[in-house]
């Protein structure tokens, strides 16, 4: 009986760590996607006649920086 409870606790800890990692991945994906979509929108509305995509590049890199910062902060806990 004791062995089953220990095994269940071990499995629960493993699933909790996996769920936390998966949530972090989805959070990073959402932040980066939001930066890219906002950048594309701003490029289309503010600079419609130009072919450069400065807002997309800038906001994508900013979103990536924010996502990496949040990941490092979360993993250091």
58 and 18 Cβ atoms separated by less than 8 Å:
no
The pLDDT assigned to 48 comes to 83
Give the whole-angstrom CA distance, residue 59 versus residue 42.
Answer: 10
The pLDDT assigned to 30 comes to 96
Count of CB atoms within 10 A of residue 42's CB? Answer: 16
Residue pLDDT tens, the chain, 77 long: 566 777 777 767 777 778 888 999 999 999 999 999 999 999 999 988 887 889 999 999 999 999 999 999 988 87
The pLDDT assigned to 40 comes to 93
Q: Which two tokens stand for residue 47?
A: 């600079």
**Which of 6, 24, 25, 2 minimizes the C-alpha distance to 14?**
6
The pLDDT assigned to 29 comes to 96
Helix axes 2-46, 54-75, angle to 10 degrees: 160
């Amino acid at each position: 009986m004791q062995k089953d409870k220990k095994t269940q606790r071990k499995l629960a800890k493993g699933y909790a760590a996996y769920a936390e990692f998966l949530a972090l991945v989805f959070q990073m994906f959402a932040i980066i996607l939001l930066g890219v979509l906002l950048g594309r929108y701003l490029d289309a509305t503010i600079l419609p006649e130009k072919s450069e995509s400065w807002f997309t590049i800038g906001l994508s890199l900013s979103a990536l920086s924010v996502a990496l910062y949040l990941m490092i902060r979360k993993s250091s806990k």
